């Protein structure tokens, strides 16, 4: 059976990825490799995403493209293809091309942050890291070239979606969970938040948690395996992100149980918005979160760009603007319409970002500092 009428057709398609060859020089001193403002014409924006099969990554690319257009600065996209090695080598290749880089990178794994930052610093560029880094690796200990680490709260995401899922099955029953990449603080914090929320529901049993690496196809296979193992015991499926939920829903549809199983997940991707609006599977999707890939990528790129041009000096910023948590909202079918309006006007939101800055733009302003603590 085709994957939900072909997952690839339903994901945001047509995203191009660029990045070639390479060599890297590590630099770990806290003295910035480039401290003078860089002329706009000498800068290239670079957005590095984990893959282009996940709708969130496609949205990140949209945000990077919109900011590039707004600023009049060229953009290169790195498709990491789910590989740390591919990610790092492609970034190295762009650094070797000569222009100064303002980079936003959604790292494949937390351990990728340091080698990427070191390479950018050695080349005199500036980088904002989104979602994944080791908790003890802080920008202010590296220097101005590591401008910021930025994310939305994974714990809050896991808590609000698990709470919605538990309530939807009447506070009793069995669920399974799909995590992302295991060496990902994003996945780890979301799973921890989910587990914390379930403590309030002693009659909801977590049967199994399996990684599906943010990938719809892998999530399809993992969910099929879980359903083969647990069968009709499964009343709900929690996912750390909507990309994996797309595959999970297909597996449940294939098994003929879409009217019996509830889903809670993170990201509010276009397919999930449509499914909620269309009341798919007896209102199968019961809990979501609102944050946008285009917002994250543009915030990260614009922060790095401001540092590169001298509009901000990272070492003079408070710590919460360098290890940052941005506002995340819990979404249910009842409040869905409050959040979908932003998707139809990405350019307008980019205008607000450039006007208000990376920390004060609604609906996702800065709300606190990291590192995020596990419950």
Q: Are 234 and 205 in contact (CB under 8 A)?
A: no
Is pTM, for the whole model, over 0.85? no
Q: Distance between CA 50 and CA 214 in Å, rounded?
A: 9
Q: In the predicted model, is pLDDT for residue 78 greater than 90?
A: yes
Mean per-residue pLDDT, 293-303? 98
- Fold entry, domain 7-151+292-325+342-369: Rossmann fold (3.40.50)
Residues of the chain with CATH 3.40.50.2300: 7-151+292-325+342-369, 154-290
Which residues lie closer than 8 Å to 36 by C-beta, 6 or more apart?
A: 310
- Count CB neighbours of 351 within 10 A: 14
Burial of 327 from C-beta contacts in 10 A (0-12 / 13-18 / 19+): middle
Per-residue pLDDT tens for 255-292?
999 999 999 999 998 899 999 999 999 999 999 999 99
Per-residue pLDDT tens for 149-184?
999 999 999 999 999 999 999 999 999 999 998 888
Phi first, then psi: what are they for 20, rounded to 5°? -135, 170
Q: Which CATH class is domain 154-290?
A: alpha beta
Which residues lie closer than 8 Å to 6 by C-beta, 6 or more apart?
A: none
Which helix H or strand E contains 327, and what residues bound it? none
């Amino acid at each position: 059976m085709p994957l939900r009428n072909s997952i690839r057709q339903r994901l945001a398609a047509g995203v191009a990825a660029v990045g070639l060859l390479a060599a890297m020089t590590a630099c770990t001193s806290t003295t910035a490799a480039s401290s003078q403002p860089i002329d706009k014409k000498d800068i290239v924006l670079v957005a590095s995403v984990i893959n282009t099969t996940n709708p969130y990554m496609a949205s990140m690319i949209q945000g990077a493209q919109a900011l590039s257009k707004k600023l009049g600065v060229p953009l290169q996209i790195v498709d990491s293809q789910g590989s740390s090695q591919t990610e790092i080598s492609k970034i190295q290749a762009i650094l070797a091309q000569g222009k100064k880089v303002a980079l936003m990178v959604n790292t494949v794994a937390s351990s990728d942050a340091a080698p990427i930052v070191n390479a950018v610093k050695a080349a005199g560029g500036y980088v904002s890291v989104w979602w994944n880094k080791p908790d003890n690796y802080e920008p202010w200990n590296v220097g101005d070239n590591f401008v910021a680490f930025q994310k939305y709260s994974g714990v809050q995401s896991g808590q609000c979606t698990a709470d919605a899922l538990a309530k939807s099955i009447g506070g009793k029953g069995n669920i399974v969970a799909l995590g992302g990449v295991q060496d990902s603080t994003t996945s780890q914090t979301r799973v921890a938040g989910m587990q914390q929320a379930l403590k309030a529901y002693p009659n909801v049993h977590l049967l199994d948690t399996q990684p599906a690496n943010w990938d719809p196809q892998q999530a399809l296979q993992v969910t099929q395996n879980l359903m083969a193992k647990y069968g009709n015991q499964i009343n709900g499926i929690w996912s750390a992100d909507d990309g994996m939920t797309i595959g999970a829903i297909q597996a449940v549809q294939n098994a003929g149980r879409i009217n019996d199983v509830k889903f809670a997940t993170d990201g509010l991707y276009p397919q999930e918005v449509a499914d909620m609006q269309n009341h798919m599977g007896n209102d199968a999707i019961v809990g979501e979160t609102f944050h946008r890939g285009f917002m994250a990528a543009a915030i990260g790129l614009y922060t790095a760009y401001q540092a590169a041009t001298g509009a901000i000096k990272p070492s003079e910023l408070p710590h919460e603007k360098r290890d940052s948590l941005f506002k995340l909202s819990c979404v249910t079918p009842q409040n869905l319409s409050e959040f979908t309006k932003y998707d139809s006007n990405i350019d307008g939101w980019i205008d607000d970002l450039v006007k208000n800055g990376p920390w004060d733009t609604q609906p996702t302003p800065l709300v606190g500092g990291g590192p995020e603590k596990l419950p």
